[in-house]
Amino acid sequence: MGVYEFKTANIRGAEVSLDQYEGKVLLIVNTASKCGLTPQYSELQKLYEQYKDRGLVVLGFPCNQFGAQEPGTNEEIHTFCQLNYGVTFPLFDKIDVMGPNQHPLYGYLTQQAPFEGFDPDNERGKRLSSMLEREGRLENNDIKWNFTKFLVDRSGNVVGRFESPVEPANIVPAIEALL
């Protein structure tokens, strides 16, 4: 099994089978428009532009589960991303990435790449870790916050999980190793 076996709706509501990305390197990210990490959209777009001709595709999955930071409709999200960050990489339907309504793709991703903690040298990671520890949310493999990134190789295998505070530029060596 790999990510190619999943289907989802794109931001316009059309069903998409992820097998259309077979043979590509994927960076799958849960996103939000009103988060302190929202500027990562710009960095994700830069990665996409820099590496798309070599086979990288960034897939954005809006989610409103963390601080209600993605309250908009799909149309509002799409417009926001284009106007503010020039996003041209594929965006998908707003989904749940954890809990009882978790999209099956995210169940698979979190099973394949468990949560291993936040970088203790990253200030934002320290703050998130402290907050989530108080809430008792560090004890499982669930997505912890917006902009968690999963790297998938050309065969559809999850090869890495990068937590929210990890800047997209810091993933470049792992991406280049797969291209």
Catalytic residues: 35
For residue 151, what are the β-bridge partners?
Answer: 27, 160
Give the 3-state DSSP-derived string for 43-105, with helices as H, strands as E and coil as C: HHHHHHHHHHHHCEEEEEEECCCCCCCCCCCHHHHHHHHHHHHCCCCCEECCCECCCCCECHH
DSSP H or E stretch at residue 15: strand 15-17
In this structure, the strands spanning 15-17 and 25-31 are unpaired
Distance CA 33, CA 63 (A): 9
